[in-house]
Amino acid sequence: MTQQNEREWNSGIFSCFDDMQTCLCGFFCPCCLTCRMAERMNEPCSCCIGFCLFPESVMALRLKLRSQHGIKGDICNDFICTGFCLSCTLCQLDREMKSMGI
């Protein structure tokens, strides 16, 4: 069930090439991008390879961002995005945060 005050994402999950710097970081160093976003969202990041690359940590960031900023979606969609295209999801989160000034 969606709320009436929810909005769409500012960019699609496959709009990675809209921001090449984020795209390259998301594909070649996803752990760095995950930690950088966690810090911007005031979340702890114990950045070792095992933690940062878990889709669950990215899914938690996506869920938090969606919930706090009224973005349409649900936990099932978050799970699918992070499970099937983790790097694209990271890039979308970073673009969204940049557009909101986070």
pTM score? 0.83
**Residue 10: both structure tokens together:** 């500012």
For 16-56, write each residue's pLDDT tens digit. Answer: 888 999 999 888 988 888 888 888 998 887 655 545 556 77
For 60-86, write each residue's pLDDT tens digit. Answer: 899 999 999 999 999 999 989 888 888
Distance CA 66, CA 82 (A): 14
